Amino acid sequence: MKMRNFMTMVSDFSKQQFSHVKIERYRKELSIALTVIFFVGIGGLVYRWYVEKREVAASYAFAQCMKSFEHAKSDVSKWPGVLEQFEAGYKEHKSSTLAPYFLAYEAEVYLNMGNREQALQTLRSVTIAKSSLLYGGYAVKTALLEIDIADAAVGLQSLQDLAKDTHNSARDMALYYLGLYHWSQNDVAQAKIAWQDLVQLDNSPYAAAAQDRLQYLV
């Protein structure tokens, strides 16, 4: 009887100890989990703060570049300095969402300086999302430069694709220049097709020019 009581006491003690160990283990695991959650939360806040600070700095730099860009339009001697500004802006803020726009305007500066080869090379490196309102315009410019100074077949295919894309924000621009390309190649029929498609679009600044040209096509 004493032996049975003793074994019962040992069993009860073991259960208590095991339960205590389990509780301690869960406490430790909970403590670790809470610590991880805390630091992940802090890390997320720090990252968001960093991103916001990065974007604010990039926006300020881009605004300064654009101010210089506008001033250079009336003083061509300023273009080299503006180019340096955009180059520096891109290097300093290449991790920001504005990075491709620094490059896009860098290409614009090269065009204003008459350096089409460098402008094309820069435009090829621009990665603007298709959802951006600026994408279409720069895609058309890239295609036109390809036609003009590089691979005409590649440029023409790109221009045709942009003219067919109903989601392209610069579809009217693509249609106008596609018609102009065909007209320059004496392909009146294809020029007509492009410009007739263009004049059917609403609120296009290119529609009037296309309509004028259609009047003189036989």
What pLDDT was estimated at residue 191? 95
Q: Assign 14 to helix, strand or coil.
A: helix
Give the model's pLDDT for residue 129.
80
Q: What is the DSSP letter of 76?
A: G
Per-residue pLDDT of the chain (218 residues; tens, 9 = 90+): 444 454 444 344 344 444 454 455 656 655 665 555 554 554 444 446 446 777 888 899 999 999 999 999 999 999 999 999 999 999 999 889 889 989 999 999 999 999 999 999 999 888 888 888 788 999 999 999 999 998 999 999 999 999 999 999 899 999 999 999 999 999 999 999 999 999 999 889 999 999 999 998 86
Q: Nearest-CA neighbor of 81 among 112, 104, 55?
A: 112
Domains of the chain: 129-218 (1.25.40)
Q: What pLDDT is attached to residue 150?
A: 87
pLDDT of residue 28: 63
Determine if the pTM surpasses 0.85.
no
Count the alpha carbons within 13 Å of 109 in the hemisphere toward its beta carbon: 26
| Integer Cα distance of 58 and 75 in angstroms | 26
Q: Taking the mean position of all CA atoms in its chain, how far away is CA 58? A: 14
